[in-house]
Amino acid sequence: MDYAKNATGDATVEQSHEDMAVKVRMELYDWIQTILTALIVGVMLFMFVGNQISVDGVSMERTLIHGDRVIISKLFYTPRNGDVIVFYSPTERFDGVPLVKRIIATPGQEIDINFEYNRVYIDGVLLDEPYAHTTTTDRYNFAGPLTIPAGYVFVLGDHRENSIDSRCNSIGLVDDRHILGRVLMIMIPGIDRSGERDWSRFGALS
């Protein structure tokens, strides 16, 4: 009788171990399936919805700073005033390096800039620019008023005193076909002048 009891007890323990092993395998399978699904969804999102780039330079301060990693997308995108975009310049000066600027004027709009008083006008109306970090006082090659032709946009950097943009012949008007996408959000903030990452800047651009 004692032998029979021990045998039964051992069988119960063994069955319990087998059940536990099956449970662990099922949980592991669920985790692997979840991770693979997340990876596939992430790849699909980057392929068809968005991509990421790192901001190089200070021309978009304070909106974007050097080293910010941002998500961009061109899915169903139509350029609009105020959008921050990434594009390629066709000129040799930048040699295929993507640039980040803000759209100020779109096709059919007339842009004029009063460089003496730091004022930008769209269709004769003074533009409210709370994002502008510094004044628009450098003319470069700009000769206005200028009406934007179909298929192009006029861009400026937010840090106007430290930006090469549509005022300059080296960039000029940006062809729609050279736009890689609109900046949707800051994914990883760059290191600021204090040597820190300000994680309060994480998220969608305002």
User: For residue 40, what pLDDT is reported?
Assistant: 62
Distance of CA 89 to the CA centre of its chain: 18
User: For residue 183, what pLDDT is reported?
Assistant: 95
User: For residue 82, what pLDDT is reported?
Assistant: 96
Asked whether 64 and 183 are in contact (CB, 8 A), the reply is yes
User: For residue 51, what pLDDT is reported?
Assistant: 82
Per-residue pLDDT of the chain (206 residues; tens, 9 = 90+): 554 555 555 656 566 767 677 777 788 887 888 787 666 655 555 555 568 889 999 999 999 999 999 999 988 899 999 999 999 887 767 777 899 999 999 999 999 999 999 999 999 999 999 999 988 888 999 998 999 999 999 999 999 999 999 999 989 999 999 999 999 999 999 999 889 999 999 988 87
Burial of 71 (0-12, 13-18, 19+ CB in 10 A): buried
The two structure tokens encoding residue 107 = 């096709």
